[in-house]
Structure 1
């Protein structure tokens, strides 16, 4: 907007530097712990030891955010937050819960429409981050409502000036256009904030797994690469990215031994529990309207193309497109992380398995598109060393040095790490590749040339 045009007053509101928080728990030591964690934050803290006391405080004062324990004598946390939702809908509501309280958590999400739930014991830094994000979300929502109110006011004024004040109509129309643009921008920012929030939350889900077996970030990167490579619709790409971040949400209540066990090695009882996680993930997101399509993708991402999947045994193209794509990305990454089979599956073997099951587990057309993208793009996602390039045989050049051993499809070692490539070797590799079964293609990890490193630091 030009400096010569005055901004609507609703856009001049500064970001909040303080807030009033109400902490509710029947255990004094929990309240003291929360106050200790938040003592350096710019918040005015008030505590209550029961739901009834919290309601009384809410009647006397305006609070921006309430954190309540799930289990309390008398009025429990979900009931308290549902009551606050009805009486004070502007107040952000957060539930403190243990992993075993999944029913209370679902009740709080459905009835109290909570912003988030935090598992006990909590991580102090994550708790502070969640509160900052919650208050920033609240501030953004207030700005959006203020802009909507301003838009309605300007529409009324425009109608009053319509017939005789043509110049004023033109002026107000321009202001209305600018306000509408700001409202659209605020809406887009809000939708993007959901994507960002789901990715932050996915990092918390990953903390249930060892550091070397955390798939969420890789799955997110892979579906984003697929969406870019095949130019998916923007709405589908956004929902797919959020589903990739939250597909493990339904596993949060699992014990550690089930959470880390390869899915092919589960006992009968464990497998029954495993098969429920897509539906549990969907249920946790049901109350969030902007995530309804994401929840649908999560529900169906364990369906199989042949109709023998879960939870609804959908077959073929009855399975939502986003779910078909997510299934491929999840299996490709989890195979390599050792979360499906007892051992980690090398990347090339993971490609072979997807080819083998492309008409049983996967949509064959989408599987082919996925593998095309994996061969061209995914290697850059699969490693994190900036000094290593991942190339196919067509992009090899004499003088490149291997950073990893190269194996044929049969498992035979072709070239050792450290081998310098020559024109003759490159031609031989191309000839060997043509003779590989099932169209297998080689992926070579080579050291980045020094001149490329200096030019593109």
Structure 2
């Protein structure tokens, strides 16, 4: 038996104008689980239905003095539509039976005199039918209510998911912005170090070596993070020279004394040591240590040869050799001579497999970038006159000779703010030169 059936107290109402019949029916059903109530008239029966709950079955005699059973069941149908209705008649009256079914909504009829056993079974079945209908309604209402709750929960869940997704996206964008700022700050720090290294007189050496090395690494199809490491190492490859006397640095190695050469040969190891404590530069430090190794094993500091030399170090070594050669040359044909000098060292100091990747970009760095802008018209502007989109026509140095920006750089709001800040901190004796 269901929870609904256990909690329900079903009543069966018998209506008949003969008292002895009502008493007989009460005795017949006294041991049943349902409660039997009786009324001796249609009026009394309707009054009981108005005050009593859970009357599930109404059994009415057809012939009563005030109204017919059909009329009574019709009123019952309007008063308690859920109650199942049965006609009790002593006449073989087909029209009354049809009316009881059509007008009164009777589920069946019983003729007098009845068989007690059959009557009891009919009433039991009808009560169970009523209980099943009520249980089904109860379950349907429960399911509908739970569906509404589930729908509301899903709606709220969807909203919460959307809110959380939005919050996660905002946090991701914020972290990404912070990461980009950190990367920009990191790159700015590396660039600043490289410019400090060049205060000794090798202006743009690190920048050109880095540009060559980066393009070579990209041409070789290396991953972006490795290209970035090689670029950083190239910018800082001479950081170990800081602290070495200018007297030594201005000499060609073959002109140095034995003691001077020993001091100079330590600079690549010192360079690695100087940046080893910075996680983001530790791998770059390896390339810095070995950029003076020779392909034939005659270099320093460890005498490595061939592919035992890290690829990044071999790339930087070739770019460094070309730029040191180019610093002593002038004219449009200088790059051809510089490349021939590189070719003469292939298999000795330099890796032959890297020559083609260098050749592709050498003219761009030393001819297009240096010669191509000289015919452009330019204007000298104060920092306050600069606007976004303008292109520098000359390298920009601080008042104390620190390279700030290279010519050809397109200005954006961040660079303009930086220029104005530099002009307050370390102003040069002239304005900013831009293309017209």
State which structure, 1 or 2, has the greater radius of gyration over its C-alpha atoms: 2
TM-score when normalising by structure 1: 0.44
- Give the TM-score normalised by structure 2: 0.46
